[in-house]
Structure 1
Amino acid sequence: MKKLGFILLVLALCVGCQTKKVETFSNTSVTAGFDTFISIKTVADSQEQFDSYFTSSIEKFEYLNKLFDIYNTYPDVNNLKTINDNAGIAPVEVDQYIIDLLNLSKEFYDLSGGEFDITMGSVLKVWHKYRELGLMAMNEGELGKLPSSEELETAAACKGWEFVEIDDENNTVYINNPCTSLDVGGIAKGFAAEVLANDLIEEEIPSGFVNAGGNVRTINKKWDGSPWVVEIQNPDGAGSYLTVSRLGSASFVTSGDYQRYYIAEDGKFYHHIIDPKTNFPATHFHSVTIITENSAVADALSTTIFTLPYEEGSALISKYNQDHPDKPVSAVWLMDQAQANEIKNDHQLVVGNYIAVYTEDLKDYLVVKDPAK
């Protein structure tokens, strides 16, 4: 009777009890910075609560954009342009976010044997100029021009971490070579997405995601308990495409040759991801997608692996995973059939006109989607 009485008491206490409905809210800004959009979706108790999250996130994204900008100056902000402008002149006191970004970039420079190099701003500046002129030429039905090898080699002589002095104690950065400049385009957007995600985690949101121009960072389990599913774009922009799923917190970042490119006088496409060994755009693959928890790590590695031949990139991922077994990295390479034929990897999928080669741990989490079916 005592047990029955206890059960009846519990039932009585739960009469009318219902599982609280999970509500999600979302919003997007196309003017917050980094020349891209920023979308956020989270579980929240109310629209007002979400609006507070979103407003704070956009303000932080705008601030980080100012800090990492190499083209523009802003009142009362010492940013990367300030550092570059003071090369060979004086140290610049900066925000901790810049110190953290530069130190992380140096870690990936060391890990990759110099393949990930934010000090090659002088080389990227040359390509930026020719790409902008090339895009203008394309708009007029003409072909763009190419920088000469001599121009690129002169610019490349300015790169090197030996020219960058970071004072962690005083939060200053000094470039001691007047022609050296920093360009953090290969990591900044992922770093910013990670900052926003961590801010939302501190607000104790149970579930959500940040999408910074295609750099997707998920937070905890999805609100309905299903896996997060992210599309890997087909370089053709149409036809079959690939999706990758992951439970819990993860970042999905892709570097590809199908954006920010122009066609030069030789009839070839020239995109924005430059191989530091050749000073020209890398041509190994059409895209590389990295999946790991930290968005800054995913951004840096997607840039790095894109510029490396498959065997070297695969070895680098293995090395990273050995050093970080608690936060492993997965990868998907999209390439032409001829390139795939040269690769010793049984983990391959046909995706439209391309072949996806992937790390073994993804074999149960990749799906080819055909929109025609």
Structure 2
Amino acid sequence: MKRVYFIFALLLIVTFSQAQVIVNKELSLMGTDFTITVVAPTSEIGQLYISDAVTEIRRIEALISSWQETSETTFINNNAGIQPVKVSVELFNLIKRSIAISKLTDGAFDISYASMDRIWKFDGSMKQMPRDEVIKISVANVGYNGIELNEIDQTVFLKREGMKIGFGAIGKGYAADAAKALLIQKGVAAGIINASGDMNTWGTQPNGSPWRVAITNPLDNNKAFALLPITDAVVTSGNYEKFVMFNDIRYAHIIDPRTGYPSQGILSVTVFAPKAELADALATSVFVMGIEPGIDRMNQFPGVECIAISTDGAIFTTKNITLDLKK
């Protein structure tokens, strides 16, 4: 009988040692809303892990921010057309990957978009369409081909004065990837980094079920039209709130860096990818390319899937995706 009690006690110890709780925290980082979720043995330990993730995200922001005067990115922009700037390996590689995505998307994604003049306003103050010549001038300094990388010296040079780079369409995803990698290194078995729609997940919920994401119906923000399991990264971008109408044509807030004109025809894009950085960049790219060429291009990326919703509510997906449509 003592042996039975002893075995039962051991089973209780093992069970309790494996108990896990979900801990999350909402906060403002990188100028947007973040929600960090971790699976941990206790709430207290989970909060410590979240603090580690916040520190890492703030470190990334200090590196890539174009509005912080001390960042490497600001130093690059301030030396456009003047001289190359030596940067850290981390920033050099991020810029290198960004240029690679630009090439793969025919310039639909371009970190030199930051050079554009802000002639479009989506706050209700814009009353007439900008003139064609003004739009053309606005993108005169945009073009990823003007970013020169020197692998040997590890320098970045913006060839033309007035050029700027910015990571608004990739930075949150990169920060989510970095925070996830840090937490995995620290032994966190599962979690979610949600950077205002840029989500990166790993592991499973404590009950063993996968994390799932609800795809918002852009025609009714209070409803979801699909619920999908996620194992890596998913990014959803929407154009259903920031837009202007001229001559019955809808002009949304995501601008084509090649032309200076806003993207048209799409309300929402959701991209699933191995990394949030890639999903972030590709979601913007689909908006700029348009639904048919965008979906076609996403079908050519290994491990990438996409859902796009047109302005008339039609749903388009890449070939391998299956929707669990909600009524």
The normalised TM-score by structure 1 is 0.78
Please say if 1:38 is aligned against 2:16.
Answer: no
- For 1:9 and 1:310, the matched residues in 2 are separated by 69
User: Which residue of the other structure, out of 238, 259, 277, is the alignment partner of 1:256?
Assistant: 238
Please say if 1:273 is aligned against 2:232.
Answer: no
Structure 2 residue ranges without an equivalent (≥5): none
Please say if 1:331 is aligned against 2:306.
Answer: yes
- For 2:246 and 2:139, the matched residues in 1 are separated by 23
- 1:29 positional shift: 1.1
- For 1:213 and 1:280, the matched residues in 2 are separated by 25
What corresponds to 1:350 in structure 2?
A: none
Please say if 1:126 is aligned against 2:118.
Answer: yes
- 1:178 positional shift: 0.5
What corresponds to 1:57 in structure 2?
A: 53
Aligned length: 322
User: Residues 299-324 of structure 1, C-alpha deviation per residue, up to 9 Å, x if partnerless?
Assistant: 11111112123332222122212xxx
Structure 1 residue ranges without an equivalent (≥5): 1-7, 322-327, 338-353
Secondary structure of 1:177's counterpart equals coil
Paired residues of 2:251 and 2:263 also in contact (CA < 8 A): no
- 1:152 positional shift: 2.4
Which residue identity does 1:331 align to in structure 2? C
Paired residues of 1:117 and 1:276 also in contact (CA < 8 A): yes
RMSD between aligned alpha carbons?
2.5
- For 1:148 and 1:223, the matched residues in 2 are separated by 56
Which residue identity does 1:38 align to in structure 2? F
- 1:11 positional shift: 6.2
What corresponds to 2:141 in structure 1?
A: 158
What corresponds to 1:349 in structure 2?
A: none
- 1:196 positional shift: 0.8
Judged with a 3 Å threshold, the aligned counterparts in structure 2 of structure 1 residues 46 and 147 are, in CA distance, closer, same or farther, namely same
Judged with a 3 Å threshold, the aligned counterparts in structure 2 of structure 1 residues 172 and 266 are, in CA distance, closer, same or farther, namely same
Secondary structure of 2:187's counterpart equals coil
Paired residues of 2:21 and 2:43 also in contact (CA < 8 A): no
What corresponds to 1:68 in structure 2?
A: 64
What corresponds to 1:198 in structure 2?
A: 181
What corresponds to 2:317 in structure 1?
A: 358
- 1:361 positional shift: 2.5
The normalised TM-score by structure 2 is 0.88
Deviates more, 1:290-299 or 1:56-65: 56-65
Matches within 5 A, 1:98-117: 98-117=91-110
Deviates more, 1:310-319 or 1:209-218: 310-319
Paired residues of 2:139 and 2:259 also in contact (CA < 8 A): no
* Identity within the alignment, %: 25
Judged with a 3 Å threshold, the aligned counterparts in structure 2 of structure 1 residues 268 and 319 are, in CA distance, closer, same or farther, namely closer
What corresponds to 1:186 in structure 2?
A: 169
Greater C-alpha radius of gyration:
1
Deviates more, 1:289-298 or 1:90-99: 90-99
Please say if 1:26 is aligned against 2:9.
Answer: no
- 1:52 positional shift: 2.1
Secondary structure of 2:299's counterpart equals helix
